[in-house]
């Protein structure tokens, strides 16, 4: 029987604690709180900085005392750390249904010829490699687990992954070659993973489940029709624009030109980004696959 909750499964969010000192955004923290507010009762939060992670954990527990929270200190650029995170989540809750990979850093504001290799690598290690390592481990579990029934009778999913990219993965800005490049990579990694998880088709024959692949030979695709109620894991990404985090608000004069370019003439809120993420994890987005949702007030279209 389907749960009456919009999010009856387990949510996992990396980058769930804001830390201005290392130039993270705070979007992950807002997403974790949004899941709790919308009725998700089992939440895993992960970040690198233990002190701010504890703050995020305590904040969720104080506002939503019925929610079970597991917090894990994780370096997303470490394969061992990421694997341990998923192992802990599965051990405590049995599965992961909604995974949001929000860990990321901005890095140094320098042009390529002014930037050291170490500065360049630091951003890619977290923003691209970290996102890929997280998504890889999440998918390993999702493709194996049974679909989670939805609360509204729609087809359930084996899981939903939302990677946090950026509007700067679509358009560039000065002095951000590593950040722009890493976020563009996240967008296309998302699309590639979405294709790959969608090519697994399960067909029940005489009570046995047999796994097939959609085979592409000489540009001809031979597909097996199963059912419009068959469920995949979903992989999408969200591309936030200028969002009113503490870091932005502390440097508002610097960011005013970017606000002026946006047709809506304002910065967004972390809650507006979280709303888009939760939509992509919900049963209302069961036919959305490999999409890059831009949440930027129209910045990239102007």
pLDDT (tens digit, 9 = 90+) per residue, 178-192? 999 999 999 999 999
| pLDDT tens digits, one per residue of 106-125 | 899 999 999 999 999 999 99
Q: What domains lie within the chain, and their CATH numbers?
A: 10-199+233-296 (3.40.50.720)
Q: Catalytic site residues?
A: 179
For residue 41, name the pLDDT band (cuts at 50, 70, 90).
Answer: very high
What secondary structure does DSSP assign to 189-202, as a single string? HHHHHHHHHHTEEE
pLDDT (mean) for 20-24: 46
CB-hemisphere CA count at 13 Å for 166?
A: 27
Distance CA 37, CA 245 (A): 20
- Rounded (10°) CA dihedral 176, 299, 279, 155: -90
Residue 196: the pLDDT is 94
Q: Which helix (H) or strand (E) holds 212?
A: strand 208-213
190-210 in b/e burial notation, b at 16+ Cβ within 10 A? bbebbeebeeebeeeeeeeee
Distance CA 302, CA 294 (A): 13
Mean predicted lDDT score pLDDT of the chain: 88
The residues, any chain, with a CB within 8 Å of residue 176's CB and separated by 6 or more, are: 106, 107, 109, 168
Whether 207 shows a pLDDT value over 90: the answer reads: no
Distance CA 131, CA 9 (A): 22
pLDDT (mean) for 7-32: 81
| pLDDT tens digits, one per residue of 264-296 | 999 999 999 999 999 999 999 999 999 999 999
Distances (CA, A) of 203 to 129, 139, 156, 230, 241: 34, 20, 17, 10, 42
Cβ atoms within 10 Å of 230's Cβ, excluding its own? 12
Residue 254: the pLDDT is 83
Distance CA 242, CA 1 (A): 42
For residue 28, name the pLDDT band (cuts at 50, 70, 90).
Answer: very high
Whether 201 shows a pLDDT value over 80: the answer reads: no
Q: What percent of the chain has pLDDT over 90?
A: 72
């Amino acid at each position: 029987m389907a749960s009456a909750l919009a999010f009856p499964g387990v949510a996992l969010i990396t980058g769930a604690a804001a830390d201005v000192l290392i130039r993270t955004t705070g979007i992950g923290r807002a997403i974790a709180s949004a899941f709790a507010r919308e009725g998700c009762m089992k939440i895993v939060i992960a970040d690198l900085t233990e002190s701010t992670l504890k703050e995020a954990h305590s904040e969720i527990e104080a506002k939503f005392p019925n929610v079970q929270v597991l917090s894990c200190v994780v370096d997303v650029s470490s394969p061992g750390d990421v694997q341990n995170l998923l192992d802990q989540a599965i051990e405590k809750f049995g599965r992961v249904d909604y995974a949001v990979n929000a860990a990321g850093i901005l890095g140094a504001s320098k042009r390529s010829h002014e930037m050291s290799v170490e500065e360049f690598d630091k951003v890619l290690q977290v923003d691209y490699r970290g996102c890929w390592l997280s998504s890889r481990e999440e998918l390993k579990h999702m493709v194996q687990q049974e679909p989670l029934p939805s609360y509204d009778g729609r087809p359930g999913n084996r899981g939903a992954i939302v990677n946090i990219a950026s509007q700067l993965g679509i358009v560039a800005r000065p002095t951000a070659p590593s950040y722009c490049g890493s976020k563009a990579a996240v967008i296309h990694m998302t699309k590639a993973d979405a294709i790959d998880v969608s090519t697994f088709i399960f067909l029940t024959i005489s009570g046995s489940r047999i796994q097939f692949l959609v085979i592409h030979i000489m540009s001809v695709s031979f597909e097996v029709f199963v059912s419009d109620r068959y469920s995949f894991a979903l992989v999408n990404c969200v591309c936030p624009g200028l969002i009113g985090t503490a870091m932005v608000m502390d440097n508002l004069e610097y960011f005013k030109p970017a606000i002026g370019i946006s047709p809506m003439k304002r910065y967004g809120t972390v809650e507006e980004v979280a709303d888009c993420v939760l939509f992509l994890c919900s049963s209302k987005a069961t036919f959305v696959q490999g999409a890059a949702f831009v949440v930027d007030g129209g910045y990239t279209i102007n």
